[in-house]
Amino acid sequence: MEQLKGKTVIITGASSGIGKAIAYRFAQEGANLVLASRQYVTLCEIAQDIETKFGVKAIAVATDVSKEEYCAQLIAEAIRVFKRIDVLVNNAGISMRALVQDVEVSVLKEVMDINFWGTVYCTKFALPELIKSKGSIIGVSSIAGYKGLPGRSGYSASKFAMQGFLESVRIENIHKGVHVMIACPGFTATNIRNSARAKDGSIQGESPKDENEMMSPEEVANHILSALIHKKHQLILTFQGKAIVWTGKVFSRLLDKIIFKHFAKEPDSPLS
């Protein structure tokens, strides 16, 4: 995996969960890191720990990816410090949990601003450098980007949009050497459910799912690293995730009913 040694990798949403795990795994392979998140103090602690453990350079950049100007500053800082960009990991994201009829429009907009527009902004500003380096763009998406999930309308919409956008970027640059991969981890034990927005925009709090039964962020990071090295276009993890994508193509109506029953069983489900 010498391909990452000395390369510059930008990771959004790097202060926790999958983003943090990717940071540590890529640093282990010798990558220099630009870590982005709104949690600046936490980012600085992670960057310092990574430099101490792996001997690479890691910088923290306070970034709200829902704001275009923050994303422009993130990319500019990466270029200023490292003079190049080799990999962009669009990982920052939030979820929501409410029925369409109940949720406030502002919640849907917030989810779209972070998950979709954050990807658009960072990719747009980094693309010239990625073309120069023949680098990679990774979008950390979700099975919700293949199948609309009840109670997660805004989240599903944002991931569908992210995937469509990144597929267009891939095709537009097919002869320029830019690699684009969409990674769908499936249910992962991160804090995205704990920080999900309720119908009024408040934080949901306790996760409605058993985190112990899920894939760990470190496992996801290992899979993403391997898929990056092999230049895969698509990464779908877990049997459940692969089954949903396949079933959705063949038995769409049946899958709708199965998914409804699954999510209706969650504690305090808005579907019940």
| Chain centre to alpha carbon of residue 215 | 15
Other CB atoms within 10 A of residue 110 CB: 18
d(CA 213, CA 73): 39
Catalytic residue among 24, 70, 146, 155: 155
Classify each residue of 159-198 as buried b or exposed e, where b means 16 or more C-beta atoms within 10 Å of its C-beta: bbbbbebbeebbeebeeeebbbbbbbbbbbbbebbebbbb
Structure tokens at 178: 């830019």
Task: Find out whether 192 and 211 touch, Cβ atoms under 8 Å.
Answer: no
Centre a 10 Å sphere on the Cβ of residue 268 and count the other Cβ atoms it contains. 9
Is 70 marked active-site? no
Q: Tell me which residues are annotated as active site.
A: 155
